[in-house]
Amino acid sequence: MSEIRVGLIGYGTAGAYFHAPLIHATPGLALAAVVTRNADRQAEVAAKYGAAGVPGVEDLWDRCDLVVVASPNKTHVSAATAALANGLPVVVDKPLARTAEEARGLVRLAKERGLMLTVFQNRRWDGDFRTVRRLAGEGRLGEVLRLESRFERWRPVPKGGWRETGGAEEIGGLLYDLGSHLVDQALQLLGPAHEVYCESDVRRAGVASDDDTFIALTHAGGARSHLWASSLAAVAGPRFRVLGSAAAYQKYGMDVQEERLRAGMAPDAPGFGQDVEERYGVLGDGDDRQVVPTEPGAYLDFYRGVEAALREGAPPPVDPESAVDALAVIEAARLSATQRIVVHLG
């Protein structure tokens, strides 16, 4: 195939600011069609990407070679199932499903059909997380004892929309949204978790899903992760604080790629993933501290991996089994918060 034609389901925040520009900037991929009933959005995708705006998922099957699911969370399983049933490989935005069992069903179906299934865990390619993995891999932290990781925002007035106003049936709230990234990063860095504790609250009026959540994981290797997601952090804590037996790493500020995508910067533009010096982290050993330049963020590597998986048979950029593992932790966190218990995983 000369170009892999991509059909995108959904053109809200995820579709418009993340998937469409990343697909467009990836050599070998071409955005062919976007499912959106909004006339203005149909005109936008035609003008920016030369893609057709179509009203329903059934209009995609003959137009594309790959389906990307970026619609609301509650539709992820049904849309991915339909694509796989029609013989098409699939990228699904996180969370892959509501439960680990639903996710396992998708993994089984993809294997039965011999089709690629992968999950858009883009924050594995955040510059700060890439820096943490590099420092750990080089042994500069020693044995990692505790990971502290935060996605904190100051949004005292709710923005509205299904992520905040919808109940459990919408798979909304921070546990499934930012928590999907926090848990995924913790498992990627420190391995499987066998104990899960969670505190999850709804703090703002008019909000139906959690907007202030803390998760504590004990990993099989003995390390611990402390993970925060909040919409009510007027003063944000460090994005990462990683304590090791030899040194610690601390960094403030968010990865730059999302803000640049939202500002309209092309993801293949020079310097797109480069952090600003003011946000560089610090590696410390007692009184000895050194500034550590942040690894460049690399969201494009996800879709480059998708292209390689389809064209060359390479492994998908995110193994969907890892998304199943993360959902098992998220389910355990929900149970922990509800029953105020520590949940033990097998």
Extract the runs of DSSP E, i.e. beta strands, from 57-204.
Answer: 66-69, 90-93, 117-120, 144-152, 193-201
Measured at the CA of 23, the angle between CA 21 and CA 29, to 5 degrees, comes to: 145
The amino acid sitting at 232 is L
Burial 64-102 (b: 16+ CB within 10 A, else e): bbbbbbbbbbbbbbebbbbbbebebbbbbbbbbbbbbeb
Contact 318, 120 (CB under 8 A): yes
User: Which residue in 334, 9, 18 sits closest to 176, CA to CA?
Assistant: 334
Residue-level pLDDT at 342: 98
The amino acid sitting at 21 is P
* 71-81: pLDDT as tens digits: 999 999 999 99
Q: Do domains 4-120 and 123-298+328-344 have the same CATH topology?
A: no
**Architecture category of domain 4-120 in CATH:** 3-Layer(aba) Sandwich (3.40)
Burial 195-220 (b: 16+ CB within 10 A, else e): bbbbebeeeeeebbbbbbbbbbbbbe
Q: Does the structure show a pLDDT above 90 at 127?
A: yes
User: 9: which strand partners?
Assistant: 35, 69
* 20-40: pLDDT as tens digits: 999 999 999 999 999 999 999
Q: 293 Cβ partners below 8 Å, 6+ apart?
A: 275, 277, 280
Identify the three-state secondary structure at position 260: helix
SS3 breakdown of the chain: % helix, strand, coil, rounded to 5? Answer: 40, 25, 40
Residue-level pLDDT at 346: 80
- How much of the chain, in percent, has pLDDT values that exceed 70? 100
Domain boundaries, the chain: 4-120, 123-298+328-344
Q: How confident is the model at residue 1 (pLDDT cuts 50, 70, 90)?
A: low
**Topology at the third CATH level for domain 123-298+328-344:** Dihydrodipicolinate Reductase; domain 2 (3.30.360)
Question: Mean pLDDT over residues 253-262, rounded?
Answer: 97
Q: Which is it for strands 66-69 and 4-9: parallel, antiparallel or unpaired?
A: parallel
Q: How confident is the model at residue 168 (pLDDT cuts 50, 70, 90)?
A: confident
Residue-level pLDDT at 77: 98
Residue-level pLDDT at 61: 96
Q: Does the structure show a pLDDT above 90 at 231?
A: yes
* 215-230: pLDDT as tens digits: 999 999 999 999 999 9
What stretch of H or E contains 48?
A: helix 39-49
Q: How confident is the model at residue 120 (pLDDT cuts 50, 70, 90)?
A: very high
Question: Can you read off the two tokens belonging to residue 210?
Answer: 């959690």
* Spacing of C-alpha 339 from chain mean position: 27
Question: Can you read off the two tokens belonging to residue 100?
Answer: 């680990």
- How much of the chain, in percent, has pLDDT values that exceed 90? 95
* CA separation for the pair 179, 167 (Å, rounded): 16
Q: 225 Cβ partners below 8 Å, 6+ apart?
A: 146, 147, 148, 149, 186, 190, 193, 215, 216, 217, 219
Contact 9, 59 (CB under 8 A): no
Q: Does the structure show a pLDDT above 80 at 345?
A: yes
How does DSSP assign 321-338, residue by residue?
HHHHHHHHHHHHHHHHHH
What stretch of H or E contains 263?
A: none
Measured at the CA of 186, the angle between CA 189 and CA 231, to 5 degrees, comes to: 145
Q: Does the predicted TM-score (pTM) go above 0.75?
A: yes
Question: Mean pLDDT over residues 190-199, rounded?
Answer: 98
Residue-level pLDDT at 74: 96
* CA separation for the pair 28, 314 (Å, rounded): 15
